Amino acid sequence: MGNKWIDWLKALFIAILLAVVVRILLFAPVVVEGPSMLPTLHNGDHLIVNKVNYMIGEPDRFDIVVFHATADKDYIKRVIGLPGEHVSVSNDQLFIDGEPVDEPFLEERKNGLSNGNVLTRDFTLEGLPGTTEDTIPEGYVLVLGDNRNNSTDSRMLGLIPYEQIVGEAQFVYFPFNRIRYLN
C-alpha cells in the first residue's frame, strides 16, 4: 500500500515539474487587455504564446508578439519593421525602404472609415522616440497595434529590442467562439 502512494507522489511531482518547465520555457498563456489589436484580437481573448520560436529564430514581419513594455506590463502588437529597414507611413500607406507594403489585416478597418479619415497617421522611423538612425538597428523591431488610432506602440515606445520579446502569439483558446490559430 505504501509503495502505491510513493509511486503516485512521484508521478504527481514529475507532472508538476513538466508543467512548470513547459510554462516557463516553452509556452505561456496571455490575456489581451484593451482594444489596441482590434479587430484581430479582442479585449479578454486568451492566447497561447510560443516562447521557442524566437529562441531559435527571429521575428518575421506581421508576427503578433508579446513583449515587456514595462517591468510590470506586457503588450501585444504586430511586428512591422525589421532590422536594416526604413519604415514610414504616408497617406495611410505603409512603406518599407520606400516600397508600399499591403497590410491585409487592416482592410476591414480601413473600409469602415469615413471620407478623409485615416487609420494610421503619417510617421517616419526618424520621428520615433529614441531613434537616431535611418534604419532599424540589429536586434530591434518596430511594432504597431492593428487598431492604429488607439494603440500604444513603437510610435510612443520607440523600437523594441529582441530581449524584451516574450514570444509569438499563436493561438486563441478562449472565448470558445473565437478559437483559432493566428497567422
Number of domains observed in the structure of the chain: 1
Answer whether residue 150 is part of any domain.
Answer: yes
**Close Cβ partners of 63 (under 8 Å, ≥ 6 residues apart):** 78, 79, 168
Give percent above pLDDT 70 in the chain. Answer: 96
CA atoms within 13 A on the CB side of 122: 2
**Residue 58 scores a pLDDT above 80:** yes
Q: What is the mean pLDDT of the chain?
A: 91
Residue 98 backbone zone (phi > 0: left; psi -120 to 50: alpha; other: beta):
left
pLDDT tens, residue by residue, 97-152: 999 999 999 988 888 777 778 899 999 999 999 988 899 999 999 999 999 999 99
Residue 91 backbone zone (phi > 0: left; psi -120 to 50: alpha; other: beta):
left
- For the annotated catalytic residues, the residue numbers are 36, 77
pLDDT at 127: 92
**Residue 44 scores a pLDDT above 80:** yes
**Residue 67 scores a pLDDT above 90:** yes
In this structure, what C-alpha cell is assigned to residue 80?
Answer: 512591422
CATH assignment at residue 39: 2.10.109.10
Mean pLDDT of 71-81: 96
pLDDT at 22: 65
Answer whether residue 3 is part of any domain.
Answer: no
**Could you give the CA distance from residue 49 to residue 77 in angstroms, rounded to a whole number?**
13
Answer whether residue 78 is part of any domain.
Answer: yes
pLDDT at 158: 96
pLDDT at 23: 64
Q: Which residue range forms the structural domain that includes residue 124?
A: 30-181
CB atoms within 10 A of CB 15: 10
